[in-house]
Structure 1
Amino acid sequence: MSSNESGVDEPVSNQSALAKLLCGNVVHDGGDIDEVLSHLSASIDNVVEELVTLESLSDKQISLFAPFLGRSILELGCTALIARLDPFRVLLLRECQKRPNYQIDKRNNSSISWKGDVLAEKVSEPWADKSLQNPTRALLGDYYKTLIWFANFDKLLDAIEDVRGDEWIDNLRIKTFDRFYHETFTDFSSVYSELSKGIHNERVIPLSSALDRETTQRLIETTIRNIATLGLFVSVVSHAVNKLDIQVAIAAYKEIQEMGVF
């Protein structure tokens, strides 16, 4: 349902908890950015449906399919968070993809890239005038680190202060900002690299020797925990598009932990 009788857009009701946390309560026909988030939400839901079936697969099937699903969640989730924190970036991409000369068979400069839009090289003097000529807008880059994550970290801790019995939140509550950021950056870097090795056919030894059931379970859990934590974080960022009420976000965060992957 896209709107009620009064003409006010209503949220889609069948989102998974992960899609809700990453995309917010998406609506149909709500505008350009809502169209993007609606598509990303549906794509995340599709991947989640497959993730919860992993437990029933053979070890060989898990080695084959799980890396693709894990990296899909990582990329879709990061794109959704970028859309909510920096809508211009994704609207630019949307406009390029709509144009008749957009080529789907080549790498386009407008595309979301892991190195550039999610991770970026450290800026040695971020506030020097020369650095600000073309500042990185990477999700885990130096400017986001200061202006988004550090600026709102205490607000996040205040929001979860009274939450009890949630393992991920208990773990998050004891971290300093520096520890949180370092661990998040490190986890994003490592899981992307490890999952990618399961997708690209570069190995000349059996894939299952590197991506056995236990290893794959760890990678998927690390991926979901980290992307979900950033989704929870965005719920306290004042300028975020489609921001969830923090109690709704906390409930979704808890539900994700009970999703039953593996």
Structure 2
Amino acid sequence: MERNSLAHLICGDYTQHKSIENLYKVLFHNISNMETRLGRVIINGEPGDLTVLGPYYARNLIETTCSALLGRIDPFRLIYVQKVQSVEGFNIGSKAKGAISWSGDIFEKNETNASNLWHPDREFNKVGRAFFGNHYSEIFWNPAFKSLIDDTNYLSETSLEYFRTHIESPDKFTMFLRQKSSTLYSSLSKGIHSELVIKPEIVYDDTTVIELVNDTFQICSILGIVSHYIDFSICRLPIDNAFQYYNDLFEWRENNYE
């Protein structure tokens, strides 16, 4: 069974923007593909499939999720990559310097101190614009998370209880997600690269991989629903529609990953 709740939640209604429609069709397909494959490998996979394929699918999912959400806040960033990759003679065997990178576009290489974000002497080309950076945190993510948890229509949502209880205040939202995402990405990467010189199943048994997959969907889902509270992000869904996808993912996790 094909699953696409996360794809809908992350990519939103991209058909309203013709300049990015084809780009987001690709991202939607990629997220839906990984979402479906993870469900299959957990529920119907052959012995050993989960520990081999689970980390790869999950890391692909969180990377694509962050790229798609970054593009909904800063469309130029993804359009630029699309244009570069569309140039005749583009070499798929070498990474373009302008490609989306985990260290740089998602996490800032040189994080600006949160208490000194708006220094008048800082040149704009030195202002951090990373997905989990402090500038995006203050302008986009933290205010949007506050709007979410203050929304009177969803005060009793069980699916939000974890974040209400684990994040002490809205201004800590991005820091909380940044820490969880960094740890998760590192854990998933060790299951993909040949870093381990011990048997992988010693570290990556089925229970551990299921926890990592569960964490991946949890992080991607909360980022997705919060993104629809950023009032000028593109491709926004009506909140009630976004919550249908978010809660579908929550129920799916509860039924299959606990």
TM-score scaled by length of structure 1: 0.87
RMSD: 2.0
Q: Higher mean Cα deviation, 127-136 or 78-87?
A: 127-136
1:170 maps to which residue? 161
- Cα separation, 1, equivalents of 2:136 and 2:152: 22
Structure 1, gaps ≥5 residues long: 1-13
State the Cα deviation string for residues 196-250 of structure 1 (Å, max 9, x = none): 1111122111111111111111111111111110110011111111101111111
CA contact (8 A) 1:126 1:143 kept: yes
Give 1:203-218 correspondences, 5 Å limit.
203-218=196-211
- Cα separation, 2, equivalents of 1:215 and 1:251: 28
1:221 maps to which residue? 214
AA in 1 matched with 2:107: L
Q: Percent identity?
A: 26
State the Cα deviation string for residues 100-147 of structure 1 (Å, max 9, x = none): 132211121111100111111321333223353322211100110111
> After the TM superposition, which parts of structure 1 deviate over 3 Å for at least 4 consecutive aligned residues?
160-163
Q: Higher mean Cα deviation, 34-43 or 228-237?
A: 34-43
Shift of 1:30: 5.0
1:81–1:66 distance in 2 versus 1, CA, 3 Å: same
- Cα separation, 1, equivalents of 2:243 and 2:181: 22
2:20 maps to which residue? 33
1:76 maps to which residue? 64
Larger helix percent: 2
Shift of 1:35: 1.5
2:7 maps to which residue? 19
Aligned to 2:154, the other structure's residue is in SS state: coil
1:200–1:184 distance in 2 versus 1, CA, 3 Å: same
TM-score scaled by length of structure 2: 0.88
- Cα separation, 2, equivalents of 1:85 and 1:230: 12
Q: Higher mean Cα deviation, 29-38 or 135-144?
A: 29-38
Choose which of 144, 148, 160 in structure 1 pairs with 2:136.
144
State the Cα deviation string for residues 128-179 of structure 1 (Å, max 9, x = none): 233533222111001101111123332122226534352x312223431244
Give 1:48-197 correspondences, 5 Å limit.
48-53=35-40, 54-120=42-108, 121-124=110-113, 125-128=116-119, 129-130=121-122, 132-159=124-151, 162-166=154-158, 168-174=159-165, 175=167, 176-197=169-190
CA contact (8 A) 2:141 2:173 kept: no
AA in 1 matched with 2:76: F
Structure 2, gaps ≥5 residues long: none
- Cα separation, 2, equivalents of 1:96 and 1:217: 37
CA contact (8 A) 2:14 2:20 kept: no
- Cα separation, 2, equivalents of 1:163 and 1:155: 11
1:165–1:241 distance in 2 versus 1, CA, 3 Å: closer
1:77–1:246 distance in 2 versus 1, CA, 3 Å: same
